[in-house]
Amino acid sequence: MADEKAPTRNAFGEPWPDFNDGLTYTDIVPPTSTTACSLIEFYSSKYSNSAPLEGWLQRIRNGQITVDGQVVTDPDTTLRVGSVLLYSRLPWKEPYAPYLLEVLYEDDDMVAINKPSGLQVLPGGLFQQRTVLTQLRWLAEKSSALRFSGIAAAQESHPVPVHRLGRGTSGILLCAKTKLARARLAAYFADGTAVVRENRISDVELGTTRRISKIYRALATGIIDEDEVVVKQAIGMMRYPGVANGLYVASSSGKPAFSKVRVLERDVQGNCTLVQVEIQSGRPHQIRIHLSFLGHPLLGDPLYGIDGQPKVAESGCGDDSFAPDGGYQRPTKPVPGDCGYHLHAHHLVLSHPTKNEVIEITAPLPTMLRAQNETE
């Protein structure tokens, strides 16, 4: 992978080290009415989603677990109520992720950045260090010496994302720099979801009750005939191998969701449609699911097929073997964090969290998501 371009006046970011720092997890053995359990019983039952039995045995025998400060390598060790357990996950080399972040807007309360595709917002799964949050933390730690695009250098200013974008989604990510801004911006996103939950679709369409509006660009497969389409399909969850908490899909028993899709350009030869999507709710993977539900999943989406469902509903992780760190092998079938699709948070309008003014922020369009008559 080629090196990224050097930071510009409006960008910040530090290259990732080859290996992260690993992770530590602390547990306290709780009171129980049953007989005392062993070390292996505790971890293999409580954290079965993290590793199979053989994986936990490997971790214990490797000396990665301490009990009350002492390394314990015997998996049959009996635990006492109140004992403090510490599991140390060994450092690992995380998959490639870009690290440069462009500043689109900044003041004393918030900063909006242009997140590149391929970079996760918050820690999760294989990406524990290579995240937007880490870059923001690193910037805050050395902020007294840096002035990237005027980002405040005070130690107390620690930008934190107030919403998420999928790893494969690029574009505007709002980050709060104060507790007050964080609370109010989070409320803006929650209010939009509440409007949809109450089925006040007319208000949603008029935009009269919302203090934030998000417009995305996307490239959908096939040719969408209608110039505008409103999708009100609810989004729920289903069990899906490789995704511990389940997969979000189109579901009649799910929570209400609302997307307004407008066709910008049809490419008959390439059999794809460039669209603008405005969402008022903020369900996970909403645009991917809604366009899939229309029969026009995002071009290159490895996970969602037709009708808002995964392409392969019954897919395992290949076999029951475990990775070098003792955990499960990475799923062989697509999962939500996989990239390949074209989706960009392009334009955002919001009421400023502390000032009586409206802010508009635009993230430059990737080449694949520009109409023929548009320039950079």
Is 273 inside any structural domain? Answer: yes
Is 66 inside any structural domain? Answer: yes
Kindly write down the DSSP assignment for every residue of 355-373, as one continuous string.
SSSEEEEEPPPPGGG--TT
CA distance 355 to 199: 30
Is 14 inside any structural domain? Answer: no
Same domain? For 98 and 82 the reply is no
Q: What digits encode the pLDDT tens for the residues 209-267?
A: 568 899 999 999 999 999 999 999 999 999 888 787 889 999 999 999 999 999 999 99
CA distance 345 to 364: 10
The total number of structural domains in the chain stands at: 3
Same domain? For 36 and 163 the reply is no
Out of 193, 222, 246, pick the residue that ends a domain.
193
Same domain? For 228 and 298 the reply is yes
The interaxial angle of helices 53-61 and 39-46, nearest 10 deg, is: 130
CA distance 47 to 56: 9
Percent above pLDDT 70 for the chain = 83
> How buried is 177 (Cβ within 10 angstroms: 0-12 exposed, 13-18 middle, 19+ buried)?
buried
Same domain? For 185 and 255 the reply is no
Q: What digits encode the pLDDT tens for the residues 96-130?
A: 999 999 999 999 999 999 999 999 999 988 899 99
Q: What is the pLDDT of residue 152?
A: 47
pTM of the complete model:
0.85
> How buried is 174 (Cβ within 10 angstroms: 0-12 exposed, 13-18 middle, 19+ buried)?
buried
CA distance 118 to 344: 12
Q: What is the pLDDT of residue 314?
A: 47
> Mean pLDDT throughout 290-296?
97
- Is 127 in a helix, a strand, or coil? strand
Same domain? For 209 and 348 the reply is yes
Q: What digits encode the pLDDT tens for the residues 308-366?
A: 999 875 444 444 556 677 666 666 788 888 999 999 999 999 999 999 899 999 999 99
Kindly write down the DSSP assignment for every residue of 151-185, as one continuous string.
----TT---EESS---TT-EEEEEEESSHHHHHHH
Same domain? For 259 and 325 the reply is yes
Percent above pLDDT 90 for the chain = 68
Q: For residue 65, give its domain range.
A: 23-89
Same domain? For 80 and 102 the reply is no
Is 198 inside any structural domain? Answer: no
Same domain? For 155 and 64 the reply is no
Q: What CATH number should be reported for the domain holding residue 43?
A: 3.10.290.10
The one-letter amino acid code at 97 reads A
Same domain? For 139 and 254 the reply is no
Out of 89, 107, 125, pick the residue that ends a domain.
89
CB of 158 closer than 8 Å to CB of 137 = yes
User: What residues contact residue 55 under an 8 Å CB cut-off, 6+ apart?
Assistant: 322, 323, 325, 326, 327, 328
49 pLDDT tier (thresholds 50, 70, 90): confident
Same domain? For 80 and 173 the reply is no
Phi-psi category of 152—alpha, beta or left, where left has phi over 0 and alpha has psi -120 to 50? beta
How far is residue 231 CA from its own chain's centroid? 23
Per this entry, what is the length of the chain?
376
Same domain? For 175 and 298 the reply is no
Is 328 inside any structural domain? Answer: yes
The one-letter amino acid code at 262 reads R
Is 8 inside any structural domain? Answer: no
Q: What CATH number should be reported for the domain holding residue 185?
A: 3.30.2350.10
Same domain? For 160 and 281 the reply is no
DSSP-derived secondary structure letter, 314: S
Is 4 inside any structural domain? Answer: no
The torsion angles phi and psi of 229, rounded to 5 degrees, stand at -135, 135
Per-residue tokens: 367: 């080449």
Out of 48, 72, 89, pick the residue that ends a domain.
89
